[in-house]
Amino acid sequence: EAGVAQSPRYKIIEKRQSVAFWCNPISGHATLYWYQQILGQGPKLLIQFQNNGVVDDSQLPKDRFSAERLKGVDSTLKIQPAKLEDSAVYLCASSPVTGGQETQYFGPGTRLLVL
Amino acid sequence: GNSVTQMEGPVTLSEEAFLTINCTYTATGYPSLFWYVQYPGEGLQLLLKATKADDKGSNKGFEATYRKETTSFHLEKGSVQVSDSAVYFCALTPNSGNTPLVFGKGTRLSVIA
């Protein structure tokens, strides 16, 4: 079974530019998460989707970050405009929905450097 | 709120040494507890989990026991190998359906031959 796919793996941009990240979850997984992992810290949730609906975006900086999951499969996370403090690894994870607490499966992440 | 505190790293051990990485948590209700591992250049992988008090999670020689009385989930391995070198993250979710993980800051382990 294919895992969670993310692209690009690395991105370097200048501040005030925009950037987009893509995630393809494991087939059949209804729940999708985006996490931000700043160097030396644990991942922190940005947004959670179930199918194509947003479950939790309370920690998403909505003045510059946006995310969508059209058709309940792939998802895109965008930053516009980027700031220096956005340098981090952006992790996508997915899990099935079966009524219990399901394991989350993570992609390899996109490493963003903002100069 | 929910939070996880794990021991600061880095931890450097010789091969075949005993490993303990401490993890304590604060949570309302009865969370599920996890250890994730991140090998160099790779994504996070689930190492083990426990969903209720006194449960023991185990995988690849690693073990952790869910201790409600001490709100702890310490990771142990009896004999580490060079291939265990990685960053280890303790995490929790509230035990109420598909909810986001709350992670500790991670502990980097280096095992030398």
| Per-residue tokens: B9 | 């790293």
pLDDT in tens, B7-27: 888 999 999 999 999 999 999
Nearest to B93, CA basis, from B39, B41, B40, B28: B28
pLDDT cut 90: percent of chain A above it: 81
Residue A98 confidence class, pLDDT cut points 50, 70, 90: low
The answer, yes or no, to whether residue B36 has pLDDT greater than 80, is: yes
Contact: A33, B44; criterion CB under 8 Å: no
Nearest to B72, CA basis, from B88, B87, B94, B50: B50
State the smallest CA–CA distance between residue A113 and chain B in angstroms.
16
Nearest to A106, CA basis, from B87, B110, B14, B84: B87
Q: Tell me the C-alpha to C-alpha distance, in Å, between residue A111 and each of A9, B23, B56.
A: 6, 27, 34
pLDDT at residue B66, rounded to an integer: 96
What residues of chain B have any CB closer than 8 angstroms to a CB in chain A? 4, 32, 36, 42-46, 49, 51, 89, 91, 93, 95-101, 103-106
Residue B113 DSSP one-character state:
-
pLDDT in tens, B85-112: 999 999 999 866 678 899 999 999 999 9
